[in-house]
Amino acid sequence: MKDESFKLDQRHDSAVKHVTGRAEYADDIPEPAGTLHAYLGLSTRAHANLRSVDLSAVRNAPGVIGVLTAADIPGENDVSPTGRNDEPIFATDKVEFWGQPMFAVIAQSRDAARRAALLAKVDYEDLPHTLDAGEARAQGGDYVTPPLKLQRGDVVPAQAAAPHRIKGQMRVGGQDHMYLEGHIAFAIPGEDDDVTVHSSTQHHSEAQHMVARVLGLNSSDVTINVRRMGGGFGGKETQMNLFCAVAALAAKKWNRAVKIRPDRDDDMSATGKRHDFVIDYDVAFDAEGKIQALEGNFAARCGFSSDLSGPVTDRALFHADNAYYYPNVLLHSHPMKTNTVSNTAFRGFGGPQGVIAAERIIEEIAYALNKDTLDIRRANFYGTEDRNVTPYHQTVEDNIMPRIIDELEESVNYQARRKAVLAHNAKGGITRKGIALTPVKFGISFTATWYNQAGSLVHIYNDGSIALNHGGTEMGQGLNTKIAQIAADAFGVDFARIKITKTTTEKVPNTSATAASSGSDLNGMAALNGCEQIKARLVEFACQNWQVQPQDIRFANNHVHIGSHTLPFADFIKQAYMARVQLSAAGFYKTPKIHWDRESGKGRPFYYFAYGASCSEVTIDTLTGEYTVDRTDILHDVGQSLNAQLDIGQVEGAFVQGMGWLTTEELWWDKQGQLRTHAPSTYKIPLASDRPRVFNVALADWSVNRENTIKRSKAVGEPPFMLGISVFEALSMAVASVADYRTCPRLDAPATPERVLLAVERLRDGA
Amino acid sequence: MTPRTEIRFLLNGRDMRLSNVSASDTLLDFLRLDQRLTGTKEGCAEGDCGACTILVGRLHQGCLRYEAVNACIRLMASLDQCHVVTIEDLRGPQGRLHPVQQAMVEHHGSQCGFCTPGFVMSLYALWMQNPDPTEAEIETALQGNLCRCTGYAPIIRAAKAVSGYGSVADDVLSRERADVTSRLQALQDNRRVELTKAESRVFIPADVDDLANLIQQHPQATLVAGATDVGLWVTKFLRDISPVIFLNHLDGLKQIATGGGRITFGAGVSYSDCGQVLCETYPHLARFWDRIAGWQIRNMGTIGGNIANGSPIGDMPPVLIALGAEITLRRGTDRRSLPIEDYFIDYGKQDLADGEFLEQITVPEPQADGLHAAYKVSKRRDEDISSVCAAFNLIVENGRISAARIAFGGMAATPKRASAAENALIGAEWSEAALVSAAARLSDDFTPLSDWRASAQYRLTVARNLFRRFYLEHSETGADARLLQA
């Protein structure tokens, strides 16, 4: 457990740099003389054969140094992260989405490159395009990656025996990451085959491997550095690979530094987003609302290539139970190929689309039986002793959901407030209210089991200062802060003594993406392992030097206490150095217990689960569909928090992002297949005034991770994203009020004011 | 007087003189690329995310005033005689953090940090005007700043706490106010500025008469006021806007005069300044006003620009049409006035002759018995373009509607009156039934488009429902007719 000196409110280690503008992002790095700028030439068709691509005007434009096409790639023209070879850097004979890169132009300034990129003369032969997952599935379209089936029990007899059965469909929109810092890569050529790329990537090791693959080099020739990202959210896990490769390709070809940074509109057009889903469900339940059988088909808009759509759609199925036990269940994923940008990781990674389907099913049952949705949730929660096996045959061992729900229900005065909401709506006014208390259970671990490993590199210099590197990347979540806290705690020194700077492939190799909420779990343990290795040597040295036993040695308060001796940490380190103790270590960690057999759909893909719940109350305007979120209360489980302030920041931020996904953030393609919501002017993420009017966030501080995670904490990045579903469900209840709660509103997501109003009108018309 | 051929301004503490400035050079590129002041960030390059927020100080009718603006669409030539303050210049006493910065650190207001300098600058501008803001005032000041990490709660907590870390009187811009004022006064030479860089021509007229002359001499020139629209022509459409005549610095276009039963606004009055006066005369606009764009854009954008560009989705025209406003167009020394609705002929086509410009807008004072409302419906409450914008102005005498001016934005190719609905109302009894029945006539008036903001069905449904809302709000039972907002 944590030492008392462990500061739970340790502020972000870059906070002062953030507020003064001195925090350095990739675009802020001073450019060497002669730096060139690359810009992508993008397709303006959703699906077409390329009859010809005439780049002469591009080449002849002012300031242009040259262009890059597939023919200039010495290695593979492919950046598919799962090795399916389906994602060219530059399209060759055909384009498969509007915004697909066909070439890059290299010029003396970004402005010159950007202008030149528009001058290509492309002769397209249009082909029919499919934009929507439902449409693709109906047409018997292709999968971009093999689908998954999860099955337990037998749905057919259960369906036949159940007194109630409802079939329905839900459409769930995608989401753009809208990280404030867009994609960027800045490559500097070195001697021989060397190239160094500064980038804003969540997965620098993969970028390294991709650059090497594209350039036909060894990974050891390529260095990727990430000091920090201006937000990632999954959007910079695989999507940065292309930019890194283009910058590196140009840097080597012209032997000059090359930067690539697309304009926001091009960033949003050319890079992937959260998958939209069309979900068909068939639920059978009894008179109490207990689910007897569930059949679900999850079709996802994957875009033109696989990218991470396999694991994303898998995770949607893994979370189609949310917190509920399905005695008989049959789930299929349908990763549909569409003529849209290839969708990718986004906080929750398919999980939210699974969870929201479970919550829709709860709503269907509640409205069919004229009950409170919370009663239906309770009736279906996983048990602790029985009713505790998931559709993927993992037993839920750490279920704390009932306590979370009970505590939140009590603290927010749910029952009384729900009565007040019903009373308000009974007046039949223009404004209607809704309240919903929704749970989240989220599985922690990469489902690609081999990703669950991490490394660190710890140096103690002989003046007692400590430098630490790990395989995670800092995107605002405070990972470096948490890791420095762990190292400071291990050595009993002040936080300020630990220096963590950029993440680089030079220090820790073969790292996994900083993703799947795993950053602290994996890298924290690897850092601790590195510290413990050095500490063991230091203890051995002290035992010999001062003739004491290991239990007589304590590292605390910047000192080392050795029996009756007390030395300042720095002095002790100096003595250890003089005694030739190795003061450096490479730490390592791999998550125990997990295994997964995708073919059989069985295993233990998750080390543990994180839990949470939120209760939101909303008011809608039945004349316009506009709404306000009047109050949200959250109780969330992070186990024993490593840093309560950072964790609360993650919970608050994830909730608002999740709420945005389900309310105002709408991706809209025109009939030609062009995304028309491609910048903040047209794509609306929440503003300060959109956050709940009353917003209370608490951590379930009593929760202790039953698994041996770092300081018994739990991952926090993704799980609270799904707390935003309480807003969506509350909106749904407000809509349902216009038909006396007898009809499930079947709101599709996002519940824009338009969808809310049209649902109100639909329910009023009795449809 | 011969024209000056350089712009002069202050950048943080330094005097700047630049002659090599093109029409489309932006302040953000100047800061980041030329000056390597990289604390100011580019998030969107269209004035929607606020990561590039900086302060621009200007002598406003003799008085130094700082405003938060977007550097990404602020064109360089518009900075003549201004003081530009960036994040790098923020500082507290004795090398400590500035109170806004300290509050943000103490309240965990940053995560990835990329939006943070912009938030700090917006909060700084707010704090200078209002050291003890309410939560609602903070939210209004932050309408133009996006954060994707924090969910805003810690930023709001920080904003409320700023004054606990220092006082405005001790702030560096307060202490240096007299000095900066005299330095900016020293830059005022009442000369026209002409800049040439390669093919680009820029004119910064000395006064309104000079503007009138310049427009006659260069009738094809792009007129730039707040650049909140033209800025995007540059950053998004890469359009060559040269030659450009800048007019946002002209005090002669920023006059607001009341008297004789009307209020006259110079075309260069910003939304922020216009709102203060207009919302006092027409209180129904108060809840509408702060939904127009975000704070930075309201500081930059002008009401004249919002009319002159002829956009079908601008928020000012429907309101002004309903109020019965007139506009004055000027060509040389000739002036003509027309009802504002007549200015909008068709999409992209306005009643504006070569060499003519919009000089002022005249709004009548309210009539007795006038019933007013202005509604904006958009996907996101703040800083969004209207799906539907509606303005109502009805006169009810002895229980009957004697006059009706109802105008919509977002429903047609131009801002437009709902004539069929108006005609249905005139002479009708003031009743919910009359309003609902008039609303049914809207399909005679409008055939709206479907696009990413809203479908045609939604636009028409909302427009109809707003007639009902208008009645309910002005009837005795209408207390519950609208969402409560902070």
Amino acid at B301: G
CA gap A332, A345 in Å, rounded: 20
Residue A654 contacts B, CB cutoff 8 Å:
yes
CA gap A563, A551 in Å, rounded: 9
Q: Over pLDDT 70: what percentage of chain B? A: 98
Residues A312/A350, Cβ–Cβ less than 8 Å: yes
Residues A356/A168, Cβ–Cβ less than 8 Å: no
Once rounded to an integer, what is the mean pLDDT over residues A539-554?
Answer: 97
Residue B104 and residue A15: Cβ atoms within 8 Å?
yes
Residue A733 CB contacts under 8 Å (≥ 6 apart), including other chains: A373, A421, A434, A435, A436, A741
Q: Taking the model in full, what pTM does it have? A: 0.98
Q: Decide if pLDDT at A654 tops 60.
A: yes
Residues B33/B25, Cβ–Cβ less than 8 Å: no
Residues B321/B245, Cβ–Cβ less than 8 Å: no
Residues B88/B39, Cβ–Cβ less than 8 Å: yes
Residue whose C-alpha is closest to residue A407's, from A3, A699, A40, A28: A699
The interface residues of chain A toward chain B in range 655-714, judged by CB-CB distance below 8 A, are 655-657, 664, 666, 668, 676-677, 679-682, 684-691, 693, 695, 697
Query: Is position A718 annotated as part of the catalytic site?
Result: yes
* CA dihedral (A98, A100, A106, A110) positive or negative: positive
* Residue B28 CA: distances (Å) to CA of B24, B208, B328, B439: 11, 28, 34, 47
Once rounded to an integer, what is the mean pLDDT over residues B85-114?
Answer: 96
Residues A81/A144, Cβ–Cβ less than 8 Å: no
What are φ and ψ of residue B10, in 5° steps? -105, 130
* Residue B114 burial class via C-beta count within 10 angstroms: exposed 0-12, middle 13-18, buried 19 and up: buried
Residue A477 contacts B, CB cutoff 8 Å:
yes
* Residue B271 burial class via C-beta count within 10 angstroms: exposed 0-12, middle 13-18, buried 19 and up: buried
Residue whose C-alpha is closest to residue A451's, from A504, A522, A506: A522
Which among A654, A687, A761 has CB closest to B143? A687
A16: closest chain B residue by CA: B105
**Alpha-carbon distance B91 to nearest alpha carbon in chain A (angstroms):** 9
Residues B377/B387, Cβ–Cβ less than 8 Å: yes
H-run or E-run covering A58: helix A56-59
Residue B93 has what pLDDT? 87
Question: pLDDT tens digits, residue range A73-131?
Answer: 999 999 999 889 999 999 999 999 999 999 999 999 999 999 999 999 999 999 999 99
Crossing angle for the helix pair A401-411 and A414-426, to the nearest 10 degrees: 60
Tokens (6 digits) for A157: 């007899």
Residue A385 CB contacts under 8 Å (≥ 6 apart), including other chains: none
- Residue A767 pLDDT class (50, 70, 90 cuts): low
Residue B478 has what pLDDT? 60
Compute the CA torsion angle A680, A681, A682, A688 (nearest 10 deg): 60
Residue B117 and residue A628: Cβ atoms within 8 Å?
no
Residue B486 has what pLDDT? 40
Please identify which residue in the block is written with the tokens 């509920």: A324
Residue whose C-alpha is closest to residue A326's, from A372, A357, A369, A368: A357
Once rounded to an integer, what is the mean pLDDT over residues A471-480?
Answer: 97
Strands across the sheet containing A453-460: A498-499, A466-470, A453-460, A584-590
- Three-class secondary structure of residue A346 per DSSP: coil
- Three-class secondary structure of residue A325 per DSSP: coil
Assign residue A658 a region (left: φ > 0; alpha: ψ between -120 and 50; beta: otherwise): alpha
Residue B21 has what pLDDT? 97
Residue whose C-alpha is closest to residue B93's, from B14, B163, B168, B172: B172
Q: Across the strands, what pairs with A238? A: none
CA gap A487, B61 in Å, rounded: 59
Q: Across the strands, what pairs with B409? A: B389
Once rounded to an integer, what is the mean pLDDT over residues A128-155?
Answer: 98
Residues B86/B133, Cβ–Cβ less than 8 Å: no
- Residue B481 pLDDT class (50, 70, 90 cuts): low
Residue whose C-alpha is closest to residue A153's, from A387, A329, A294: A329
Chain A residues lying within 8 Å of B92, measured CB to CB = none
Question: pLDDT tens digits, residue range A698-734?
Answer: 999 999 999 999 999 999 999 999 999 999 999 999 9
Residue whose C-alpha is closest to residue A745's, from A364, A359, A429: A364
Chain A residues lying within 8 Å of B140, measured CB to CB = 689
Residues B9/B49, Cβ–Cβ less than 8 Å: no
Residue B90 and residue A20: Cβ atoms within 8 Å?
yes
CA gap A265, B114 in Å, rounded: 18
Given the residues A617, A665, A718, A729, select the one marked as catalytic: A718
Q: What ranges make up the beta strands (E) of A265-415?
A: 277-285, 291-303, 329-337
Question: pLDDT tens digits, residue range B415-468?
Answer: 999 999 999 999 999 999 999 999 999 999 999 999 999 999 999 999 999 999
**Mutation for B interface: A623, A630, A648, A756, most B CBs within 10 A:** A623
What are φ and ψ of residue B388, in 5° steps? -140, 135
- Residue ranges and CATH numbers for the domains of chain A are 34-128+183-261 (3.90.1170.50), 277-447+598-764 (3.30.365.10), 453-589 (3.30.365.10)
Residue A428 contacts B, CB cutoff 8 Å:
no
Please identify which residue in the block is written with the tokens 């239990």: A551
- Residue A4 pLDDT class (50, 70, 90 cuts): low
Q: What angle do CA A218, A221, A224 make, to 5 degrees?
A: 110
Amino acid at A163: P
Instruction: For B392-444, give the DSSP string.
Output: EEEEEETTEEEEEEEEEESSSSS-EE-HHHHHHHTTSBSSHHHHHHHHTTHHH
B140: closest chain A residue by CA: A689
* Residue A70 burial class via C-beta count within 10 angstroms: exposed 0-12, middle 13-18, buried 19 and up: middle
Least confident of A24-38, A467-481, B467-481: B467-481
Residues A238/A550, Cβ–Cβ less than 8 Å: no
Peptide bond into A74 cis (omega under 30): no
Residues A64/A58, Cβ–Cβ less than 8 Å: yes
Amino acid at B137: E
CA gap B119, B124 in Å, rounded: 8
Residues A562/A592, Cβ–Cβ less than 8 Å: no
Tokens (6 digits) for A577: 């150095």
**Alpha-carbon distance A402 to nearest alpha carbon in chain B (angstroms):** 27
Question: pLDDT tens digits, residue range A159-171?
Answer: 999 999 999 999 9
B111: closest chain A residue by CA: A476
What is the rounded average pLDDT for all residues in chain B?
96
Question: pLDDT tens digits, residue range A348-378?
Answer: 999 999 999 999 999 999 999 999 999 999 9
Residue whose C-alpha is closest to residue A254's, from A198, A210, A188: A188
Once rounded to an integer, what is the mean pLDDT over residues B33-39?
Answer: 98
- Residue ranges and CATH numbers for the domains of chain B are 7-88+177-246 (3.10.20.30), 93-170 (1.10.150.120), 251-364 (3.30.465.10), 370-480 (3.30.390.50)
User: Bigger pLDDT: A440 or B60?
Assistant: A440
Strands across the sheet containing B244-246: B193-197, B200-204, B244-246, B222-224
CA gap A205, A514 in Å, rounded: 10
B148: closest chain A residue by CA: A179
Residues B132/B163, Cβ–Cβ less than 8 Å: yes
Cβ neighbours, 10 Å, residue B285: 21
Helices (H), A468-523: 479-491, 519
Once rounded to an integer, what is the mean pLDDT over residues A688-706?
Answer: 97
Question: pLDDT tens digits, residue range B232-244?
Answer: 999 999 999 999 9
Once rounded to an integer, what is the mean pLDDT over residues A749-763?
Answer: 98
Q: What angle do CA B222, B228, B233 make, to 5 degrees?
A: 55
- Residue B480 pLDDT class (50, 70, 90 cuts): low
- Residue B61 pLDDT class (50, 70, 90 cuts): confident
